[in-house]
Chains A and B, each alone.
Chain A
Amino acid sequence: MSDRVMKSYRFREERETDWKQLEQIIQRAESRGVGGLSDQDMEQLPGLYRQAVSSLSVARSISLDQNVVAYLETLCARAYFFVYGTRSRMSERIAQFFARDWAAAVSAAKGPTLLAFLCLFGGALLAFFLTLNDNEWYWTFHGGWDSRNPNATYDELRATLYETDRNIVDMLGAFAAQLFSHNSGIAIFAFALGFAFGIPTAVLLIYNGVYLGSFYAVFWQKGLAYELTGWLFIHGVTELFAVILAGAAGFMIGGAVAFPGRKPRMQSMREAGEKAAMVIIGAVVMLFLAALLEGFGRQLINSDTVRYTIAGSSLVLWLSYFYLPRRRTGDRRD
């Protein structure tokens, strides 16, 4: 009788219960996380995993049962992804991002950040002086639909800077609209376009600087520069910083593609992509804060002094958060 039974069948019969047990553990782990596993499960998992992996290589060479081989292939892959997959919880990861990783990534990218800063403000300065010399330049950069153009009067321009009726509903609306405004889009594209050697990123930053500079020149000519700066920078510090960081992320990838050094180009890009992703997700957080400041802060606060105070303190806050050296407490864990 025993001669009649196939080797592959006996092989399967002996190990089947262990495979099933591993599958159940993985199933639980996938739906409820590591927390869903009992101590006993954790104890058994490594042994069961190693056994399944070795079963797979045996099965490939002795069994012609397609179903068994396919089952073991997927079971081992799932177990592998779990055993060697990421360990930390979502909340831990978020906490670590704010405590350490974000600032570390930003301060490691000083060069690209400076480059992005120069692109944005270089474009702004250029457009500012061009428009001061000749108002016709304004129309080159802006469409005709904006009422804040060189033909507007002092009073008209001034009225756009201060809110007379403050209504919570309008603020919420302004905040929501801000979320979908072009800034968050620009930040993401400045990052995503980086892989073409960073050139589109530079163009995008310069173009935005030009837009800003020519706009500024209009108010400057009417003697409203002081008021405009307060209006702009109460949220603009955060927002423009975010755009610059997004541009820096784009330059990081562009630089990695253009100058991979000794590494293969793919690997270089991938390593830069990892770091740049951290900078860009931070930029999205900053844009969200900027939208809050713009939606509520700018409508609520009409005093220039307070606006300047907020702008200045937010700048100090961001700079010290990113660039001040900090004690490295979390290093022991890795």
Chain B
Amino acid sequence: MTDTAIPPPNAVEEGKRRRARIRAREAEQKRVRTLVTPEGAALNLKISTFGERLGAFVLDVSLQFIIMFAIIFAIAFVAGAMNFNGWQIAWAVAMVLIFFVRNFYFIFFEVGRKAATPGKRALGLRVADRKGGRLTANAVIARNFMRELEFFLPLSVLFSFGADGVEGWINWILLIWCGIFVLFPLFNKEKLRIGDLVAGTMVIHAPKVQLLDDIASAAPKSEVTSVIVFTPAQLDVYGIHELHVLEDVLRQSTPEIKRNVANRIATKIGYTPQAGEGDVTFLEAFYAGLRRHLEQRMLFGQRKEDKYDQR
């Protein structure tokens, strides 16, 4: 094998890294729920993580507060400008508006076409039916009213009791209650909270992805590229994981990183760069060659997952 020529300096370390990577990929696979459409095609939906949902929730609550303050300031400003002295009326109008914001913010946005509140949208999340059916307004209402119980009830009681200080143990019970409900999504596979359970919904991670140019096509037009030809032995060194890493490197990294990667690949496969050949030219040519090679093998049913996959 070629590995005998360059003994790996820290094989133990690399083995650990590989196992960690495989574990991470398996964890990622666990997040995927396959939904078979009526056409018989499988769609892979990704369950959102607890962190993403928490982030979205924090964003939404902050936005609600901003809207409420905006309402109060707008009404105060208008009333002030008109020399209007009925502060109680202004207050009452503000309260009514705040009532609607407080109770229907989540429902309004989730019933809408995007099935997501602004906070969820910002993080690429959306609400979906757990069985792949249509998301009904009733489900949205149920899951959002449950939130009152899960979060706002214990919190509001906590604050109202907190002033007394007498019944400290009640505070602890409420905190535990709040903790159980808030952390509930951590303890099931689909990261459901109680509201999702009752409504039969789940929250999925489906951010918009732009279709970028194919690197293989963007490669400098054939004159130079066709000159660089890799032998099958050179292309057999790497697998699909390395191909994907290379794709990321080519799409989003600095020239220095590209130079380092190019040097390492050239050393590893024993390739001597020709005069006047840039790093990017080499990397793109190698990417195209490697992808063609691996795709061909895949068509014959051989998926070479990574460079350690020797079949």
Contact = CB atoms under 8 A, between A and B. Distances in A.
B interface SS class:
helix
B227 interface: no
Nearest to A275: B138
A179 B96 contact: yes
Grouping DSSP codes into helix (H, G, I), strand (E, B) and loop, the A interface class, with mixed when no group exceeds half, is helix
A169 to B, nearest CB: 5
B128 interface: yes
Contact of A74 (B200, B209, B222, B226): B209
A63 B240 CA distance: 11
Given A192-B149, A266-B197, A269-B198, A81 B128 contact: yes
B141 interface: yes
A110 interface: no
Interface stretch (A84-92, A206-214, A237-245): A84-92
Interface in B112-144: 112-115, 126, 128, 133-139, 141-142
A179 B208 contact: no
B95 A179 contact: yes
A61 B62 CA distance: 44
Contacts of A29: 113
Contacts of B294: 64
A158 to B, nearest CB: 26
A62 B295 CA distance: 6
Contact of B198 (A65, A68, A270): A270
Contact of B88 (A4, A172, A281): A172
B37 A8 contact: no
Interface string B66-89: 000000000000000000001011
Interface string A156-200: 000000000000111011011101100001001101110100000
Contact of A277 (B126, B139, B222): B139
A115 interface: no
Contact of B200 (A23, A81, A270, A284): A270
Interface residues on B, range: 35 or more
B97 to A, nearest CB: 10
A62 B288 CA distance: 14
B41 interface: yes
Interface string A62-98: 1111111011011111101110111000100100000
Interface stretch (A48-56, A117-125, A219-227): A48-56
B141 to A, nearest CB: 4
A49 B117 CA distance: 26
A313 interface: no
B197 A62 contact: no
A320 to B, nearest CB: 24
B237 interface: no
Contact of B214 (A4, A12, A276): A12
A274 B92 contact: no
A127 interface: no
Given A6-B291, A284-B103, A67 B96 contact: no
A73 to B, nearest CB: 6
Interface stretch (B8-16, B42-50, B271-279): B42-50
Contact of A6 (B99, B146, B244, B292): B292
A12 B207 CA distance: 21
B99 to A, nearest CB: 5
Contact of A281 (B38, B93, B96, B141): B141
B199 interface: yes
A269 B196 CA distance: 11
A215 B78 CA distance: 43
A80 B36 CA distance: 11
A277 B211 contact: no
Interface in A286-325: none
Nearest to B146: A192
A57 interface: yes
Contacts of B153: 185, 189, 192
Given A30-B114, A84-B38, 13 more contacts: A29-B113, A30-B113, A63-B295, A71-B209, A71-B210, A77-B206, A173-B92, A185-B148, A188-B148, A189-B149, A267-B200, A276-B142, A280-B145
Interface of A: 1, 4, 6-9, 12-13, 16, 19-20, 23, 29-31, 33, 50, 53-54, 56-57, 61-68, 70-71, 73-78, 80-82, 84-86, 90, 93, 168-170, 172-173, 175-177, 179-180, 185, 188-189, 191-193, 195, 253, 266-267, 269-270, 273-278, 280-281, 284
Interface of B: 35, 37-39, 41-45, 86, 88-89, 91-93, 95-96, 99, 103, 111-115, 126, 128, 133-139, 141-142, 145-146, 148-150, 153, 194, 197-200, 204, 206-212, 214-217, 222, 226, 240, 243-244, 247-248, 251, 288, 291-292, 294-295, 298-299
17 contacts: A4-B226, A9-B217, A64-B291, A65-B214, A65-B291, A67-B251, A80-B37, A85-B113, A85-B115, A172-B93, A173-B91, A175-B96, A188-B148, A269-B197, A269-B198, A273-B198, A276-B142
Give me the 5 closest cross-chain CB pairs, A-B, nearest first.
A192-B149, A270-B200, A176-B95, A172-B92, A277-B142
